Amino acid sequence: MRIVCIGGGPAGLYFALLMKKNHPEHHVTVVERNRPYDTFGWGVVFSDATMDSMTKWDPESAAIIKDAFNHWDDIEVLFKGTRQRTSGHGFVGIGRKKLLNILQARCEELGVELTFETEVNSDLDFPDADLVIASDGFNSRVRNAYTEIFQPDLQQRPNRYIWLGTNKLFDAFTFDFRKTDHGWFQAHIYKFDDQTSTFIVETTEDAYLAHGLDKADQDASIAFCENLFSEVLEGAPLMTNARHMRGSAWLNFNRLICGKWSHFNGQSHVVLMGDAAHTAHFAIGSGTKLAIEDAIELTNQFQIHGHDADQIPAVLSDYEDIRRVDVARIQNAARNAMEWFEVVGERYADTLPPEQFMYSMLTRSQRISHENLRLRDADWLEGYERWFAASSGLNVEADKRSLPPMLTPFTARGVTLKNRIVVSPMAMYSATDGLIDDFHMVHLGSRAMGGAALVFAEMTCVSPDARITPGCLGLWNDAQKDGWKRLADFVHANSGAKLGCQLGHAGRKGSTKLAWDGIDQPLENGAWPLISASALPYLKTSPVPKAMDRADMDRVKADHVAAAIRAAEAGVDWLELHCAHGYLLSSFLSPLTNRREDEYGGSHENRARFPLEVFEAIRAVWPEDRPISVRLSCHDWSEGGNTPDDAVIFARMFKDAGADLIDCSSGQVWKEEKPVYGRLFQTPFSDKVRNEVGIPTIAVGAISEADHANSIIAAGRADLCAVAKQYYSAKAQYENNLERAAR
């Protein structure tokens, strides 16, 4: 085969050498516009896993690369006058120039034809090639020539960064956070050879503009950074190697995903590789790793299918299928880490104490968990656990083992929870006339005895027509209050748990069959009329609700108040107002379900008006020393619906009205929703609400291991973790986990 790699970066060079090595009969050429020793950038970092794979595929080049690597284990964070360090993180760094030179030399040794100082205009310039590799980097001319086929999806990220170097040597991967009059700047610093360290400075667009950096050239930008980071630089100058750049030296990161990676141009097969196909933010330093791994997988597919031009379509198809999954995984982790740095100033740096700030930073990609940190640096983690326990009011004696964060107490008003685990409300559809009976006593009593600190019963309806189904619990009469008292007395007498009652009204999602007879399906017998913010049915087949008038609002508010008084009298410890999942109060908050034109529709203030009225009314009758949380759908997962930004606005309003916590759920508001599920998929909403609004939160959603809960609580992404799915609905997730563990 004749193979041409357009672009001699890590992707093109490594693929060229692997193919030539595995099949010397191939004619392999790399065409690069730069001279062999010209290059942009400073150092790149790899993980040990990438290095292992390179050793397997070409031990010769791997040995030289390993030799040239600088290995370091420590991460150091400079923040608000503190300097914190942890170990065991295992990175290797190498100069980009050095890496390319090693790969170039190895290519030459194996007989790859290297052509430098040649700008390629088009993949069509190589009519004899069987395969053209578009390894021409992020600005790929080849990809841009076929945008309809490759469907590049580019997203320009808001932060600005400048990539510099310094001769000061750092013995740890160092992060330095500095606050200026106009916002925060952070430096990502790592040594990559005996004389040089990479020094990337990053900030928000606002801070960049406010400091006039849009008008700053390389020299002015360097002077600015040297001054800002003088403490960590200790007089060492910063250097640029991008003198060719005109205008501001500050860049935006562009996230790239392509819909398709290969194409037949009429004479050759063309395939994207490395930065031409995808990018991953430098916050987890994976661009070079991905480029190298692409090269390995494409070679691997030739090994599997055979080194024959006829096999190219099958090879390219399998290459794309396999790499797409791995790349998405890394891009996901990179996105979490990148977003952390995009919001770090106001969300974390201004709010978290240095210890927790460090923990939050270390776990920013959400791929490193609490127990993973223990494997890396047990002493540091133990110290952090002690600090966390102390800040939760516990004094762990020096000779005792520290406590995991989820087992520390949490206090809201006069209620102290013994730990951070909450049983989330779960409709059981097993009540008659809204009464607590033996089923609820056993179900909730056993949850309380199981060790959770707070046990919520299911959504408890404030009137008969507030129910979702005829099997829902209620609190609209004294017989129901007596049932709650029996339950509260049992929980208090037999466990250290507190009992929570979630008050709610089903709104337009009411009057439906029991779950096992058809979720959301309208009742055929015994149906009752529905009310909602607007006259919109939930399903096409659901009855049309009445848009509430003032009299309806007064009645619903009074029903909530009466239920709250009964709950207090029954000895319930904690109240939650259900403003999520498309039920009545949620239907006011979402613009999808609230189409009102009066003072209860339109702006955030108007949409929140009735839910806040209800909240204030129950707060007024609920005992002063007991907390009330508010459950919100923090994302409608639907075009035109609420997003986490709206949740922040509503959370702030509830906080001002006296809410103690926000319980951060999502969805179930709009039937056509497109939720993106995954591990801890709602935790980012809790993180955002907690740290932007400054109110304690409950995280919920696919939190299935103690390790998850510890990581969330320790990082300050939530104060409490709620878990729900038990019984049958958790079966699929449990089976998936077992399958994954067995792989």
Ligand X SMILES: Cc1cc2nc3c(=O)[nH]c(=O)nc-3n(C[C@H](O)[C@H](O)[C@H](O)COP(=O)(O)OP(=O)(O)OC[C@H]3O[C@@H](n4cnc5c(N)ncnc54)[C@H](O)[C@@H]3O)c2cc1C
> Which positions touch ligand FMN (CB under 6 A)?
424-427, 458-459, 502, 578, 580-581, 631, 665, 700-703, 723-725, 729
Nearest to 718 by CA among 733, 732, 700, 697: 697
Catalytic residues: 583
555 residue type, one letter = R
The residues in 260-279 that bind ligand X, with binding defined as CB under 6 A, are 274-276
434 makes contact with ligand X (CB under 6 A): no
- DSSP letters for 651-670: HHHHHHTT--EEEEE---SS
In whole angstroms, how far apart are CA 271 and each of 3, 135, 276, 313, 418?
11, 8, 10, 10, 57
Out of ligand X, ligand FMN, none, which partner does residue 700 contact, by CB within 5 to 8 A per kind?
ligand FMN
CB closer to ligand X out of 38 and 310: 38
20 residue type, one letter = K
Stretch (H or E) spanning 224: helix 218-228
Q: What is the DSSP letter of 211?
A: T
H-type alpha helices, 475-542? 478-494, 515-518
593 makes contact with ligand X (CB under 6 A): no
Out of ligand FMN, ligand X, none, which partner does residue 684 contact, by CB within 5 to 8 A per kind?
none
CB of 135 to ligand X, least distance (A): 5
Residue range at the interface with ligand X (CB under 6 A); choices 31-39, 168-176, 343-351, 523-531: 31-39
- CA 616, 621, 623, 628 dihedral sign is negative
CB closer to ligand FMN out of 83 and 731: 731
Out of ligand FMN, ligand X, none, which partner does residue 502 contact, by CB within 5 to 8 A per kind?
ligand FMN
The residues in 296-325 that bind ligand X, with binding defined as CB under 6 A, are none
Which of 31, 232, 361, 700 touches ligand X by CB under 6 A? 31
H-type alpha helices, 39-155? 48-57, 59-68, 96-110, 141-145, 147-150
CB closer to ligand X out of 133 and 454: 133
Stretch (H or E) spanning 199: strand 197-203
Measured between alpha carbons, how far is 710 from 404 in angstroms, rounded to an integer?
6
Which of 18, 129, 228, 291 touches ligand X by CB under 6 A? 291
CB of 595 to ligand FMN, least distance (A): 24
Residue range at the interface with ligand X (CB under 6 A); choices 29-37, 514-522, 626-634, 652-660: 29-37
The residues in 140-169 that bind ligand X, with binding defined as CB under 6 A, are 141, 161, 163
CB closer to ligand X out of 141 and 182: 141
CB closer to ligand X out of 338 and 428: 338
Q: Are 429 and 516 contacting, i.e. CB atoms less than 8 angstroms apart?
A: yes
Residue range at the interface with ligand X (CB under 6 A); choices 1-9, 412-420, 651-659, 673-681: 1-9
Tell me the three-class secondary structure of 273-338, residue by residue. CHHHCCCCCHHHCCHHHHHHHHHHHHHHHHHHHCCCHHHHHHHHHHHHHHHHHHHHHHHHHHHHHH
Token pair belonging to 725:
């799915």
Tell me the three-class secondary structure of 418-465, residue by residue. CCCEEECCCCCCCCECCECCHHHHHHHHHHHHCCCCEEEEEEEECCHH
CB closer to ligand FMN out of 36 and 675: 675
CB closer to ligand X out of 285 and 483: 285
Out of ligand FMN, ligand X, none, which partner does residue 345 contact, by CB within 5 to 8 A per kind?
none
Interface residues toward ligand X, by CB under 6 A:
6-12, 31-34, 41, 44-45, 119-120, 135-137, 141, 161, 163, 200, 274-276, 282, 285-289, 291
